[in-house]
Chain A
């Protein structure tokens, strides 16, 4: 075990602080890894921060089951309602701002003010995506003027269960920027937290649990990225993969595995998390459904005598 951080003791004067046991967030509950394993999470300076659950293949499988179970209900909610729920998440985040600032500062080795800027941007991003839920269909779909007596309408629909490999570096702003767009459109997510900096992600689970978000819509796993993602990429009941936090070698392996059931794959690419994110991550996990309806005339009418 590495050297214990004295930070908490100092900041709380002479009172012995209460450590937090970080747990997974799966199906709306906070289980430990079924394997019973944990791994040490340290700050960027190498100080021990906490023991995080080291998820197993079975944890990954359980998370997929939870995500699939939640999919129908979440996708079936009105877009307005999803927006309300997501906005509620932002409200909860705001309330726990200080905690996230501390966790981000520890995880990423940032000053308090820089960490605060990250957290603020993350909360604002969440609000931004909350507003997208009932607008994306209007920009990604619409009526098509087919050459015939048909009304033809294209609508975006969520792809299903998305496995999200969260960015390794940006433990909170990056995380939020990959999770929120996935669920905004009605998908459910299995999120693999940054391997080295999983604590903000695990804390996000606690926020989601108290934000009207149905259990299973977001599932957060911590552990060894390669170990958890391999079964997810091969899982036949996962529909898509955001490889954001996978390195080049892993990303290729996962993309190959994903081909078995033709998952939609977003490859890793450098992202400036502070910049405008555009709609790419929203549309990447949408399917376009086009429905044809006959129209025709109202019928002949009228007499001439």
Chain B
């Protein structure tokens, strides 16, 4: 046996390793969460949420209308009086409780999120949930230290915060919104995305377990009109939105001329710049995580690869080889790298943009992988021969599609990277320290990853330049959005 070698093809097939679905109990229906109670929508409307990996209906969820928004804002307003008057140390303890309960229930929430969103369990388990708990833990500690945050003595909360979040990191975006809002003494009305309402509703249950006073957190599932009603409500003092740039602009118009404080975290077309002296294997990993993490449905994705022309072939060979090892499939399988696209609409958008890329003459290459027959799937794809003029180099695709462009000099790399209406993220790959600093200095982007990509931390401010929005979430900076300063 020890002697001769059988040369089997791919002998090391990983057996299915599904995470158990039994850790989460999804009810057949969910209400709105208003004033500490689950309740039906005033007009009785409901909508279905499906698993994007299988198209199975997971649950039926109440759909908030204008009357529900009004009720939730009133509840939040009422709760604001006592909540904002609580000593910071007491508010902190509620948030610490929430953080701990999230940690305790993190496997359940990870499975839930994977079911509702379609992203791999590996990511919900190792990225989303740990970051969610960490975010609450971080801001909990700020609640009684606001005097020292650099916004003057005794900074005051704004009041009722209306928050609208996207579907790509449902619970993490909730944490980014709710944790700083509560720590600073605001109360919230939050709308999760229509395709991923469940984790926010589970969070409502966590608020109850934590004994959070009624009305401090209100969760209103619904579509765009629900969000618009929240944004437009007269008694909302603060609007925070994460989502598309188009909707962000609409919101900015809506709140114009009011006293509502606004923060927007919008789209991006991040440039991932690879110089000829890059640590090539790590750069390949960074490119992969930059555009294929969460199926590329990430506002700060490194969706434009800017590679120095002299190393293009070598890099693309390595990248394609690496993409061949990505495992696409059942998001609940612990070995899955690429999960499902979140919705049929999103899949259609990605598909259309990819077709535009081909039609405009860019060269398309997709990783060899079999797509499941049900659910919404898109194979990891890259476009080469892309120029600044191509649609796939300018428009945010929000999917697993990478556009490859080349440059000759650092100057040109920076010029191309900045040649975008967006300015959210960028990456730099080089072993030369001074070049990192020089390039980072010149990039017009809110987050720059040098020799790494897509790293997040509650202490680290996140947000964009230009049409990627304004305001920062995370860190000390993240407090400002919720304080009257």
Question: Are chains A and B touching directly in their complex (CB below 8 angstroms)?
Answer: yes
Would A289 and B448 be within 8 Å (CB), given that A144-B457, A154-B461, A280-B485 are in contact?
yes
**B window 220-270: CB within 8 A of A:** 245, 248-250, 252-253, 256-257, 259, 264, 266
Q: With an 8 A cutoff between CB atoms, is B39 at the interface?
A: no
Residue from A248, A252, A288 having most chain B Cβ neighbours under 10 A: A288
Residues in B with CB closer than 8 Å to A294 are 450-452
Asked, given contacts A147-B457, A239-B466, A261-B421, whether A290 binds B448 with beta carbons under 8 Å apart, the answer is: yes
**A287: contacting residue among B250, B253, B465, B467, CB under 8 A:** B465
- Contacts A262-B470, A280-B485; is A290 near B134 (CB within 8 Å)? no
In the bound complex, how far is the Cα of B251 from the Cα of A258, in angstroms? 12
- B residues in contact with A265, CB < 8 Å: 256
Say if the beta carbon of A139 comes within 8 Å of chain B: yes
Inter-chain CA distance A9–B252, complex, in Å, is 53
| CB of A169, distance to nearest CB on chain B (Å) | 21
In the assembly, what is the distance between CA of A20 and CA of B372, in Å? 79
Assess A289 versus B457: contact at CB under 8 Å? Given A252-B256, A261-B467. Answer: no
Query: Is the Cβ of A292 less than 8 Å from the Cβ of B450?
Result: yes
Which residues of the other chain, B, contact A290 by a CB distance below 8 angstroms? 446-448, 460-462
A148 to B458, CA, bound (A): 12
Cβ contact within 8 Å between B421 and A144: no
Q: 22 pairs across A/B with beta carbons < 8 Å?
A: A144-B457, A146-B459, A146-B460, A147-B457, A150-B452, A152-B459, A159-B465, A251-B257, A252-B256, A252-B257, A258-B256, A262-B469, A264-B470, A287-B446, A287-B465, A289-B446, A289-B465, A290-B446, A290-B447, A291-B450, A293-B436, A294-B452
In angstroms, how far is the closest chain B Cβ from the Cβ of A265? 8
**Closest CB in chain A relative to B458 CB, distance in Å:** 8
> Please, how many angstroms separate the alpha-carbon atoms of A2 and B452 in the complex?
68
Residues of A within 8 A of B256 (CB): 252, 255-256, 258-259, 265
A265 to B134, CA, bound (A): 32
Does B463 make an interface contact (CB < 8 A)? yes
Known contacts A146-B460, A154-B461, A290-B448, then 15 further A-B pairs from the complex at CB < 8 Å, ordered by chain A residue: A152-B457, A152-B459, A239-B466, A256-B256, A258-B256, A262-B245, A262-B252, A262-B466, A264-B470, A265-B256, A288-B463, A289-B443, A291-B440, A291-B448, A292-B455
In the bound complex, how far is the Cα of B440 from the Cα of A293, in angstroms? 11
**Residue B477 lies at the interface, judged by CB distance under 8 Å to chain A:** yes
Q: Complex formed: what's the CA distance from A172 to B440 in Å?
A: 38
B281 nearest CB across to chain A (Å): 14
Check if A260 is an interface residue, CB within 8 A of chain B. Answer: yes
Is B202 located at the chain interface by the 8 A CB criterion?
A: no
Interface mask (B421-445 → A, CB under 8 Å = 1, otherwise 0): 1000000000000001000100101
Question: How far is A291 from B452 in the complex, measured between Cα atoms in Å?
Answer: 10
Cα of A305 to Cα of B249 in the assembled complex, Å: 67
- CB pair B461–A288 under 8 Å, yes or no, is yes
- In the complex, A291→B84 CA distance in Å? 34
Considering only CB atoms and an 8 Å cut-off, how many residues of chain B contact the other chain? 42
Q: Does any Cβ of B come within 8 Å of A36's Cβ? A: no
A278 at the interface (CB under 8 A from B): yes
Query: Which chain B residues (264-291) contact chain A, with CB distance < 8 Å?
Result: 264, 266
Known: A262-B469, A291-B450. A145 touches B459 (CB 8 A): yes
Contacts of A252 in B (CB 8 A): 256-257
Contacts of B252 in A (CB 8 A): 255, 258-259, 262
Interface residues of chain B, those whose CB is within 8 Å of chain A, are 134, 150, 152, 245, 248-250, 252-253, 256-257, 259, 264, 266, 421, 436, 440, 443, 445-452, 455, 457, 459-463, 465-467, 469-470, 472, 475, 477, 485
Residues of A within 8 A of B469 (CB): 262
Contact A144-B245, Cβ < 8 Å, known A255-B256, A261-B466, A294-B450: no
Cα of A278 to Cα of B440 in the assembled complex, Å: 29
For the complex, give the distance between the alpha carbons of A251 and B258 in Å: 10
Determine whether the beta carbon of A148 is less than 8 Å from that of B455: yes
B248 touches A262 (CB 8 A): yes
Chain A residue contacts of B463, Cβ below 8 A: 288
Nearest CB of chain A from residue B394's CB, rounded to whole Å: 15
Residue numbers in A under 8 Å from B470 (CB-CB): 262, 264
Contacts of B264 in A (CB 8 A): 262
Which residues on the B side are within 8 Å of A267 (C-beta)? 259
Q: CB distance A292 to B448 under 8 Å? A: yes
Residue of A nearest to B130 (CB): A147
Residue pair B460, A248 in contact (C-beta under 8 Å): no
Question: Which residue from A145, A262, A288 sits with its C-beta under 8 Å from B477?
Answer: A288
Q: Which residues of A contact B459 (CB under 8 A)?
A: 144-147, 152
Q: How far is the CA of A50 from the CA of B237 in the complex (A)?
A: 45
How far is A145 from B457 in the complex, measured between Cα atoms in Å?
9
B446: which A residues are within 8 A, CB to CB?
287-290
For the complex, give the distance between the alpha carbons of A98 and B472 in Å. Answer: 44
In the complex, how many angstroms separate the beta carbon of B100 from the nearest chain A beta carbon? 17
With the chains together, A239 CA to B444 CA distance in Å?
12
A226 to chain B, nearest CB (A): 15
Contact A262 B467 (CB under 8 A): yes
Q: Which of A270-301 contact B (CB under 8 A)?
A: 278, 280, 287-294
Interface centre among A150, A154, A251, A252 (most CB of B within 10 A): A154
